[in-house]
């Protein structure tokens, strides 16, 4: 019977929920859909053995399938570069061996890039929504609407501060002015 290791390549505690629908001999439990889900916390950057024990292969396959729906990847997927573009990966798994630190670090770096991209996309959408709100409130559609976003408060040591400017140009202008450079923090 294998051990299922699940690693957390994020900056926060991840709680995994799973169902054990099999006995310790690997036989399906009748009516298991009515049993309560089990859960286990995995601290940021660490890994744990699911259920703290060996599990029948049927249970391991079931848990992997359950967590794959939430974006979990295997160590083999990470090693061959199969990380989803623009999406964070909440969990990484391996069978019968600890997850290498290099794999957790690779996914951690990927997640940071995915989150920075998602933040930039949200700020761009906020600039567009802001221009529409101003146009509705004033009754005047401006040719160019500018919005600056600047981060306030404490910042994590390894995360750059946010200081961006956006220009929203009226639809008819095919040659919008260039995006202003970022200000130094």
pLDDT at res. 182: 61
Question: What value does the mean pLDDT take over residues 46-50?
Answer: 97
Question: What value does the mean pLDDT take over residues 159-183?
Answer: 67
Strand 163-169 to 14-18 pairing: unpaired
Domain boundaries, the chain: 4-110
Helix (H) or strand (E) holding 107: helix 101-138
123-156 pLDDT, tens digit each: 888 888 888 888 888 888 888 888 887 777 666 6
Structure tokens at 143: 């040719």
Find the range with the poorest average confidence among 71-85, 154-168, 170-184. Answer: 170-184
pLDDT at res. 159: 65
Question: What value does the mean pLDDT take over residues 76-96?
Answer: 95
pLDDT at res. 144: 85
pLDDT at res. 145: 83
Question: What value does the mean pLDDT take over residues 24-31?
Answer: 69
| 88 has pLDDT over 60 | yes
Q: What percent of the chain has pLDDT over 90?
A: 45
> Could you tell me how far CA 59 lies from the centroid of its own chain?
26
| 101 has pLDDT over 70 | yes
- More reliable by pLDDT, 35 or 69: 69
pLDDT at res. 157: 60
pLDDT at res. 26: 67
Question: What value does the mean pLDDT take over residues 27-50?
Answer: 84
pLDDT at res. 20: 83
Q: How many CB atoms lie within 10 A of CB 38?
A: 13
Q: How many CB atoms lie within 10 A of CB 128?
A: 13
Question: Tokens 């008819």 appear where?
Answer: 172
Max CA separation in the chain (angstroms)? 71
């Amino acid at each position: 019977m294998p051990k299922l290791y699940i690693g957390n390549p994020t900056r926060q505690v991840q709680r995994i929920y799973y169902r054990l629908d099999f006995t310790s001999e690997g036989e399906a439990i009748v009516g298991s859909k009515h049993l309560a889900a089990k859960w286990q916390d995995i601290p940021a950057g660490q890994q744990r053995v699911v259920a703290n024990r060996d599990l029948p292969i049927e249970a391991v396959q079931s848990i992997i399938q359950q967590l794959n729906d939430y974006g979990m990847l295997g160590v083999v997927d990470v090693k061959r570069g199969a990380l989803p573009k623009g999406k964070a990966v909440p969990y990484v798994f391996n069978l019968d061996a600890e997850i290498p630190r290099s794999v957790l670090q690779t996914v951690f770096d990927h997640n940071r890039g995915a989150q920075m991209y998602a933040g930039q996309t949200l700020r761009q959408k906020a600039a567009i929504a802001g221009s529409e709100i101003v146009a509705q409130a004033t009754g005047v559609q401006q040719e160019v609407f500018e919005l600056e976003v600047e981060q306030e408060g404490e910042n994590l040591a390894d995360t750059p501060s946010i200081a961006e400017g956006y220009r929203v140009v009226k639809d008819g202008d095919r040659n919008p002015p260039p995006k202003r450079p970022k200000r130094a923090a």
